[in-house]
Chain A
């Protein structure tokens, strides 16, 4: 890892990728910045507004509420999905046709288009034609996601757990498979308890994949859009309106380019800060590990 050669001609290998990503990332980003300081009414009617949109957006109570809900949502699903994913990975068979079959079944939710995930759960939870909604009503629970905010939250969390726990499980499963059989034999001979095997053999091997899992899950949950949009439409009221949806409503629904651009930039800066902290921490952990390994 540490014996990389200094060679600036490596830029030539990176260049094609850079051009493509920059085309899709930098030009739109610049445009968003331009929007954010103007009131754009049409191609020829625009006024410079300076920082006005930023101060409006930062003080907008709706957005602050959406931000709070977003954080709550992301933390909740991380708290559920990570332990559940580890648990499922421990249960999965290691070889044979069963392993393949389980693998294919478990990855299925990951490959459903996001708006279809919304549709599936919308159908599944409807009181009249959905299995879950219907069953809950049969046993006397007044379950209604379009009226009851608690039910809507519960359903969205359940949907996300359904949708994304497989990713965590797959990552952990693959991490577990890389542990040599000798470790387990040693532990068995040692009469190590199951907990000890997990704590001292399996968990350390899982740290790296878990970091990836947390990072991926945090990122995607932070910009979740299609699933709640289809399932609840952000309702009832605005109880399940998350950041992306507030943004989309503003930008597309109301055509308020300036404010939504300002909001996008604030959102982007938050994401940048969070991902930088994550990234630095990971790099730091790896560096510490490498230097310990070398010593």
Chain B
């Protein structure tokens, strides 16, 4: 802070002396550096999009064209691959299954993580730091460690091959993540707000829903983004806990490789469709993300 004040004071001095001379030149230099920035960023984005473009390209070709010759864009545009997915329930149900457990997971996680994060951000209680650390270690537990016990656990409680099983299993890493992010946001809300609300006669649940949650809405946006992301992209647990009724799309995609070779076109189309829900989610929370991605910790 002191640095800033010092600079502005010095700045005023400079300003009066140099402002007229340098402004035009500075503007020119600025626009040139901005152009350079745009070009570099453009190159990065093009590189980033290339693999995805290639997937799109293949999803719009027939298998014979894919294998036949190298074409940078589809010569005979075809939507057959997509049509095959949308007309076959065993394909599109994969998307429905994935979306169902992801949404369930988001709801469950939010319901339990909001109060818990509030407790961590506002109160000291016995074992709070150790509990928080233990939560974080769950973020780091490699799912591969837990596969078999998970299978048996959910089998023994009769939840095997249901959406809720996957949703609960994903809580393992999503709840700690949500609490970690939300705690950061909640701590940046001054405590006086809670106290004023209680004096005004708000009960805790009413205060929490009416006042507190709107105040951390960008935090919640970012958390939802992360919850969606990690639940949507995880496959190891989802695959282990399901058989037929709740099978995620990622698993169904493996069906494209058969004895007669890999059905590249369908594989590519299915892959493209797994990206779409993510884009929609980002679109809805884009403004929150920019603000809140730093997890309230800047």
Contact = CB atoms under 8 A, between A and B. Distances in A.
> Do A and B contact each other directly (Cβ–Cβ < 8 Å)?
yes
Interface of A: 1, 3-11, 13-14, 16-18, 20-21, 23-25, 27-29, 31-32, 35, 88, 90-93, 99-100, 102-116, 119-121, 123-124, 128-132, 134, 162, 166, 170-171, 173-175, 177-178, 182-183, 185-191, 200, 205, 208-209, 212, 219, 222-223, 225-226, 243-245, 247-248, 251-252, 257, 264, 267-268, 271-272, 275-276, 279
A175 B294 contact: yes
B99 interface: no
Interface in B249-286: 249-250, 253, 264, 267-268, 271, 274-275, 277-279, 281-283, 286
Interface size of B as a range: 35 or more
Interface string B152-177: 11000000000000001101100110
A134 B281 CA distance: 34
B116 A16 contact: yes
A208 B298 contact: yes
B274 A104 contact: no
B123 A4 contact: yes
A189 B7 contact: yes
Given A190-B14, A271-B137, A28 B150 contact: yes
Contacts of A123: 54-55, 58, 264, 267-268
Contacts of A200: 3
Interface stretch (B74-82, B83-91, B231-239): B231-239
A231 B230 CA distance: 20
Contacts of B124: 4-7, 10
Interface of B: 3-4, 7-8, 10-12, 14-15, 26, 37-38, 40-41, 44-45, 47-52, 54-55, 58, 66-67, 70, 72, 108, 111-113, 115-116, 118-120, 122-126, 128, 131, 133, 135-150, 152-153, 168-169, 171-172, 175-176, 179, 187, 191, 228-229, 232-236, 249-250, 253, 264, 267-268, 271, 274-275, 277-279, 281-283, 286-287, 289-295, 297-298
A111 B229 contact: yes
A28 B3 CA distance: 53
Given A13-B119, A106-B48, A190-B14, A271 B294 contact: no
Contact of A186 (B7, B268, B297): B7
A105 B55 contact: no
A112 B228 CA distance: 11
B233 A111 contact: yes
A113 B274 contact: yes
A244 B235 CA distance: 14
B10 A92 contact: no
Contact of A17 (B10, B116, B125, B250): B116
B274 to A, nearest CB: 5
Given A112-B233, A174-B293, A102 B142 contact: no
A257 B148 CA distance: 9
A104 B10 contact: no
Given A113-B235, A275-B137, A279-B136, A27 B144 contact: no
Given A17-B115, A114-B235, 11 more contacts: A18-B131, A24-B169, A35-B148, A105-B48, A108-B52, A111-B275, A113-B274, A119-B253, A129-B70, A200-B3, A208-B298
A35 B175 CA distance: 27
A225 B236 contact: yes
A31 B150 CA distance: 9
Nearest to B281: A111
Given A105-B48, A111-B229, A6 B137 contact: no
A209 B172 contact: no
Given A106-B48, A182-B4, A223-B143, A113 B289 contact: no
Contact of B233 (A114, A130, A190, A223): A114
A178 B154 CA distance: 44
